[in-house]
């Protein structure tokens, strides 16, 4: 039975207020529907615990259930996390990546560590609102303010470090972002109903990696088609920064307190994430960026259900359901790489980016060998000599203009998507293809659409769709708000190893 028929149309509108619709929440819990993990949390009055909807225990009586839009709200109401289903380890709500409003942008920035590093004033400044406005909006929708939401994230980071590392508890507390060992102890007991020592004891027998290295599982909503996701990342990997090796995608990460190297390996029920960090305080940010890179908080059933309604896409969706949009860990990096990829093959774009990395990237040590640099920062790129780039003069001008403009264009997870589009389009040499590529992969817009991409137009011709940008855009109106996912299905119709790309 389809999601929309069982829970009632329209699914998207219903999910935006899911936690406040008691009847539908009860049905989701009674059916143990994992699709709703992360959408809302179920608190049980008799046990004072909160769970994910798919918790394997016998569902409580409906009159004993209470529903919350966030783990932080459940914690503030005095409930502790279930030890069985570990609700703090669920995929995030898809709407925080979809929404372009204040709350959606705020949630992406909190996940990226803005509150931990700069407090609520820094969050408000990034959003362009007052502290009071930000707190009021978050409390209204999520039942908790930005400090409580960041605290819930710190608690999850602490649990990961307690269970997967051999760090002393004092270092775990500091790495997870707690200001004191007392606050750390109190928070862990309050959230998990166990002391930090008891949590570690429960995980006895696990391998303890060396300091700075750990392995975590990244959950996702099924289905997930890893082929296009990891295939794209491997095909476009920049030498020295990224590589595909032994069934895993590996890359270097620039993080707030240092750098890291991550290996991401697709497995049937989760993504294995092997991290080597120079500073463990960056753990939560590194995990957040990896989840964003792989689009792991998406709701593939909702996406596929809508796209499959178009007869031209039905067979594509049925063949490989669960395609994700490969994104990025750094918006500025993606913008530079998009310009380097204008009007050239994928291999040529990799070669240009590799030369840029070798000349201007920061050298790093890779414990596993193979990776050598971080992608250059904007400040380093500002010092490059455009005459030394093996690019046409017009593209050199475009690249230098972009680098000069990047400090004033917000391409972070919490950036204003339309404002960023406008700023990019105003730069000489940057057209709709480049703008929509950045919107899709850097800004995470699920509705970005590359109507003038050659691969998309070839796929459209093959499927009997309109092939002009205007005609294809008109047909794609029915695919909204998931046009970026439609792009992934269209690209999958054939292999384009040498795809000449428009500007």
Q: Please tell me whether the peptide bond between 481 and the residue prior to it is cis, using omega within 30 degrees of 0.
A: yes
Could you give the strand order of the β-sheet that contains 258-266, starting from the edge strand earlier in sequence?
Answer: 213-218, 271-277, 258-266, 248-255, 242-245
pLDDT of amino acid 500: 38
Calculate the dihedral angle through the C-alpha atoms of 134, 444, 286, 90, rounding to the nearest 10 degrees.
Answer: 80
- Give strand pairing partners of 231: none
- The two tokens of residue 137 are 């909006």
Catalytic-role residue among 299, 304, 445, 453? 453
What does DSSP say about strands 41-44 and 49-51: parallel, antiparallel, or unpaired? antiparallel
pLDDT of amino acid 20: 62
Q: Check if 82 is active-site.
A: no
Euclidean distance between CA atoms 484 and 456, whole angstroms: 11
* Long-range contacts, 133-140 (Cβ 8 Å, 24+): 133/102, 134/102, 134/106, 137/102, 137/103, 137/106, 138/103, 138/106
pLDDT of amino acid 206: 59
Confidence of residue 503 (pLDDT cuts 50, 70, 90): low
Helical (H) or strand (E) element with 5: helix 3-7
- Cβ contact 270:206 at 8 Å: no
Please check the confidence at residue 209 and state whether its pLDDT lies above 70: no
Please check the confidence at residue 494 and state whether its pLDDT lies above 70: no
Q: Three-state DSSP class for 69?
A: coil
Q: Check if 51 is active-site.
A: yes
Q: Please tell me whether the peptide bond between 223 and the residue prior to it is cis, using omega within 30 degrees of 0.
A: yes
Question: Structural domains in the chain?
Answer: 3-89 (3.40.10.10), 95-164+167-202 (1.10.10.60), 213-293 (3.30.310.20), 331-491 (1.10.340.30)
- Write down the pTM of the prediction: 0.87
Please check the confidence at residue 164 and state whether its pLDDT lies above 50: yes
Specify the range with the lowest mean pLDDT, choosing from 4-18, 133-147, 444-458: 4-18
Specify the range with the lowest mean pLDDT, choosing from 30-44, 56-70, 109-123, 200-214: 200-214
Q: Other CB atoms closer than 10 Å to residue 362's CB: what's the count? A: 15
240: left (phi over 0), alpha (psi -120 to 50) or beta: left
Euclidean distance between CA atoms 108 and 105, whole angstroms: 5
DSSP single-letter state for residue 57: S
Distance of CA 86 to the CA centre of its chain: 20
Residue bearing tokens 């689009």: 295
pLDDT of amino acid 345: 85
pLDDT of amino acid 2: 35
Section 44-60 average pLDDT: 93
pLDDT of amino acid 499: 40
pLDDT of amino acid 498: 36
What does DSSP say about strands 362-363 and 271-277: parallel, antiparallel, or unpaired? unpaired
Euclidean distance between CA atoms 124 and 136, whole angstroms: 12
- The two tokens of residue 157 are 């980071």
Q: Three-state DSSP class for 251?
A: strand
H-type alpha helices, 247-392: 283-293, 300-307, 311-319, 331-340, 346-360, 378-381
Catalytic-role residue among 25, 51, 225, 290? 51
Q: Please, what is the average pLDDT of the chain? A: 88
Euclidean distance between CA atoms 336 and 313, whole angstroms: 32
Section 126-152 average pLDDT: 93
Euclidean distance between CA atoms 466 and 461, whole angstroms: 7
């Amino acid at each position: 039975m389809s999601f929309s028929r069982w829970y009632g149309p329209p699914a998207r509108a219903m999910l935006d207020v899911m936690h406040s619709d008691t009847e539908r929440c009860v049905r989701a819990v009674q059916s143990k529907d994992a699709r709703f993990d992360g959408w809302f949390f179920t608190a049980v009055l008799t046990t004072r615990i909160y769970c994910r909807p798919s918790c394997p225990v016998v569902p409580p009586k409906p009159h004993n259930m209470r529903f919350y839009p966030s783990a932080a709200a459940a914690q503030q109401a005095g409930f502790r996390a279930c030890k069985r289903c570990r609700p703090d380890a669920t995929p995030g709500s898809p709407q925080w990546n979809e929404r372009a409003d204040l709350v959606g942008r705020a949630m992406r920035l909190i996940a990226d560590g803005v509150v931990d590093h700069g407090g609520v004033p820094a969050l408000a400044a990034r959003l362009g609102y007052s502290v009071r406005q930000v707190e009021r909006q978050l409390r209204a929708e999520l039942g908790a303010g930005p400090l409580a939401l960041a605290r819930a994230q710190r608690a999850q980071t602490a649990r990961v470090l307690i269970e997967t590392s051999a760090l002393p508890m004092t270092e775990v507390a500091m790495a997870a972002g707690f200001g004191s060992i007392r606050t750390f102890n109190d928070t862990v007991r309050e959230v998990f109903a166990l002391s930090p020592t008891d949590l570690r004891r429960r995980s006895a027998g696990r391998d303890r990696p060396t300091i700075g290295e750990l392995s975590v599982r990244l959950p996702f909503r099924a289905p997930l088609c890893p082929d296009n996701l990891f295939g794209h990342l491997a095909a476009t990997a920049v030498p020295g920064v990224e590589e595909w090796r032994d069934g895993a995608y590996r890359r270097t990460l620039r993080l707030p307190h240092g750098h890291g190297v991550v290996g991401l390996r697709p497995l049937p029920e989760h993504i294995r994430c092997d991290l080597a960090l120079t500073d463990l305080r960056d753990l939560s940010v590194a995990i957040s960026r990896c989840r964003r890179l792989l689009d792991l908080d998406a709701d593939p059933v909702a996406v596929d259900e809508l796209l499959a309604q178009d007869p031209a896409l039905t067979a594509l969706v049925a063949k490989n359901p669960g395609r994700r949009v490969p994104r990025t860990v750094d918006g500025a990096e993606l913008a530079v790489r998009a310009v380097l990829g204008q009007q050239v093959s994928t291999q040529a774009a990799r070669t240009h980016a590799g030369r840029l990395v070798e000349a201007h990237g920061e050298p790093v040590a890779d414990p596993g060998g193979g990776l050598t640099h971080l992608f250059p920062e904007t400040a380093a790129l500002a010092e490059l000599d455009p005459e030394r780039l093996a690019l046409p003069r017009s593209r050199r001008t475009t690249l230098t203009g972009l680098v000069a403009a990047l400090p004033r264009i917000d391409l972070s997870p919490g950036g204003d998507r339309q404002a960023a589009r406008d700023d990019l389009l105003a730069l000489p040499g940057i057209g709709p293809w480049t703008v929509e590529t950045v919107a899709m992969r850097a800004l995470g817009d699920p509705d970005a659409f590359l109507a003038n991409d050659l691969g998309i137009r070839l796929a459209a011709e093959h499927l009997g769709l309109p092939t002009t940008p205007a005609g294809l855009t008109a047909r794609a109106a029915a695919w909204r708000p998931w046009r970026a996912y439609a792009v992934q299905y269209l690209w999958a119709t054939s292999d384009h190893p040498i795809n000449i790309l428009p500007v």
